[in-house]
Structure 1
Amino acid sequence: MSGYRHPKSTALDCLLSSFQMTNETVNIWTHFLPTWYFLWRFLLLSYTLDFLGDSYNWPLLVYMMLICLYPFTSSFAHTFSSMSAHARHICYFLDYGALSLYSLGCAFTYGAYVIPDRWVNGTLHRYYVPIAAFNTFICTGLSCYSRFLEVDQPVLSKVLRTVAFVHPFVFDNIPLFYRLFFCFGEGCNWNEAIPLHCYHLFFAFLTGFLFASHLPERLAPGRFDYFGHSHQLFHICAVLGTHFQLEAVLTDQSSRKAWLSLYSETDSLAITLGVVATAVIGNVILICFFTATLLWSPRANSILQNNIPEEAKAKAH
């Protein structure tokens, strides 16, 4: 209801707004600070693990790079989204692309360390990461397209954006769901990582719930404009979920190393980098396509004109 920045702020205004109280301030910091936390964890791991020489660690290397990318991109998007109507949508196109690539990073580690013993080298295991790479295109494409429907078809826009992120999450977690709910006896890997995986799933559920429900602000409009609205809580739950996911992956990675190194077939560095590069290039192309559509398509005029906070609500800085 209030707390909006001016919809045509300068880049400097946007940077300064991160130190002023608006309805985006907490959104910015709840992902900017975790970026540095994950970078710190990445640095510590680089001292103890051979990321380049040991092929067993390559999936973890990809994952660590991408869990540093997605909160930084989100923080960047929330910081600079008020520069213009064009900037707002382009910032979130980038945000969606980073989240899609994060889902690929999850697939790399789940396919390498979380997958049940009985699935290792099976059909799903062989095609798991390539399918996850393809899912990034679906995720980015649907979520970016959903922005063009916000004004005319808001419900469909919300449904498409929710599906865009639920789909790769469900696919990435197939090995974990099987391990938790359908796998019994030998080869199911019930180890100390299981509680950590459960914490991750709990916070992932909360993240999705908050994103879809817009609670608590819908129950008391105006009371949570600066603190406590769903997007802030959504950010916090997402970061906590990623933290527990990282701890669970590291636990599986270390405790299962002897068996997996002996029996699991690892991809070459060229294949690993090729999959990552293909996903990155494909997502960049999609983002460029939607950006071009936004800039030059007459159909984009409705969201450019109607998706700006009213001047009366805007707070100039």
Structure 2
Amino acid sequence: MATMVMEQIGRLFIPLQQVRLVPQTFAETLRSTAHTLRDTEVPGFFRERHIHSGYRPLHQNWRYYSLSLLQRHNETINVWTHLIGALAVLAKAARFTETVDFANDPHSWPLLILLLSSASYLTFSTVAHLFGSKSELSHYGFFYLDYVGVALYQYGSAAAHYYYAIEESWHARVRGLFMPVASFLCCLSCFGCCYGKYRNYSLPSWVRKVGQVVPSAVAYGWDTSPVFHRFAVWFESRTRGDFRSSPALLFHFGQVAFFLSSAFFFTQPVPESWFPGHCDFLGQGHQVFHVLMVLCTLCQIQASYMDYLSRRELYVKLHADGEASFFVALFILTLVTSSLIALYMLEKVKRLVRYKEKLSKE
């Protein structure tokens, strides 16, 4: 009996010794990864304005870029901000399952679409910033995936705002039109972003930026119009003395404020333009944009959840039976269409890359 016990202890002790070696092995693995490069050492396509160092070398194996998740480079913060954001969204979704019956309550499906689309765009962005430095084709491919995620998030925002946040007067104006238009604008936004990326070499940077920002701005204005109209109704009720308060409004204000602030940092390279070469790891405007977008998303999800709980009598009256199922079907159609747009543009990129490689060999 004693011998059997000692054998079991010995078997347990061996795996524990191996586990103790994991941190040392992992540290050695990280030390074996390639060093980062200066901007002059990578192709111009991968250079970011005012970022002088921290670039990862191209054409490494997938393991290298996976391990760079824990390495210091100029994309580290971009990766982690949206990775943490995705985990926060999943944590919220898990907590909502305690009070929301997503399986059996069709009225909860727009909220589920918002959660899925939010987690998708944050995850796709994380993947793009982590693996986009492998090659030119990988850069295009992963960021086209990122743009598909953005289109889905725009659709999820529209679905939640139209279903839960809308007032009766605005619903009467856009009923039957709102979600099809939202889906079209999402796909248009995806195309604008993909095409602007494709014409990276041949168009001035401001033209590309306009091509990417304008469709997204139009989509945002339409998708958030129920919230803006609700703000107007709330303000009017205050001026008349007929004050109608809603706890969700604070989070709606938050999501709009965070989004508009993020738009500034997306379009303007600050503060790195003020301190060139000093924001290579931390302090880039795109990093601030990421943080603000995460905060916008979390406020939006919380506002939609609170509206789902407190405005049920209104949205059950406004939305006919089967409308939530239509939203799900349109979500799938938007996903398929935006994916096809990304794949079409990726094929154009492949031809461009092959043409450039042929020229370099001649």
Structure-1-length-normalised TM-score: 0.89
Measured at CA, do residues 264 and 148 of structure 1 come closer, stay the same or move farther in structure 2, by a change above 3 Å?
Answer: closer
Aligned to 2:313: 258
Q: Is residue 2:201 matched to residue 1:146?
A: no
Compare relative contact order (CA 8 Å, sep 6+) and give the higher one, 1 or 2: 1
Task: Provide the residue aligned with 2:82 in structure 1.
Answer: 31
Confirm or deny that 1:294 pairs with 2:349: yes
Distance in 2 between the 1:168 and 1:294 partners? 26
Stretches of structure 2 that go unaligned for 5 or more consecutive residues are 1-51
Quick check: which has more Rg, 1 or 2? 2
Find the aligned partners of 1:31 and 1:281 in 2 and give their Cα distance.
24
Residue 117 in 1 paired to residue 189 in 2? Answer: no
Counterpart CA distance in 1 for 2:353 and 2:101 is: 52
Q: Return the match for 2:294 from 236, 239, 250.
A: 239
Aligned to 1:130: 180
**In 2, Cα distance between the equivalents of 1:243 and 1:101?**
16
CA distance in 1, matches of 2:187, 2:318: 31
Indicate the larger mover: 219-228 or 6-15. Answer: 6-15
Q: Distance in 1 between matches of 2:136 and 2:289?
A: 24
- The alpha carbon displacement at 1:265 in A equals 2.4
Deviations 1:220-267 (A, max 9, x none): 101111001011111000001111111111122211112322343243
Tell me by how many angstroms 1:55 deviates: 1.7
Alignment CA distance shift 1:170-1:60 (3 Å):
same
How far 1:269 sits from its partner (Å)?
A: 5.3
The 5-angstrom pairing of residues 77-92 of structure 1 reads 77-92=128-143
Give, as a single letter, the amino acid of the residue that structure 1 aligns with 2:174: L
Report how far residue 192 of structure 1 moved. Answer: 1.5
Matched AA of 2:267? A
Task: Kindly tell me the number of residue pairs found equivalent between the two proteins.
Answer: 303
CA shift for structure 1 position 71: 0.5
Q: 2:94 maps to which residue?
A: 43
Distance 1:274 1:213 in 2: 37
Q: Does 1:54 align with 2:105?
A: yes
Q: What is the CA-CA distance between 1:277 and the residue it aligns to? A: 1.4
Task: Determine the C-alpha separation between the residues in 2 that align with 1:263 and 1:182.
Answer: 17
CA contact (8 A) 1:116 1:188 kept: no
CA contact (8 A) 1:294 1:300 kept: no
2:52 corresponds to 1:10: no
User: Deviation per CA, 1:18-76, whole angstroms, max 9, x where unpaired?
Assistant: 11100001111101111111111111212321112112111111111111111011000
Are the aligned partners of 1:179 and 1:188 in contact in 2 as well (CA < 8 Å)? no
Q: For the aligned residues, what is the CA RMSD?
A: 2.2
Amino acid at match of 2:179: V
Q: Distance in 2 between matches of 1:244 and 1:300?
A: 46
2:284 maps to 1:229: yes
Q: Normalising by the residue count of structure 2, what TM-score does the alignment of the two structures yield? A: 0.79
Partner SS, residue 5 of structure 1: coil
Runs of 5+ unmatched residues, structure 1: 306-317
Identity %: 25
1:314 is matched with which residue? none
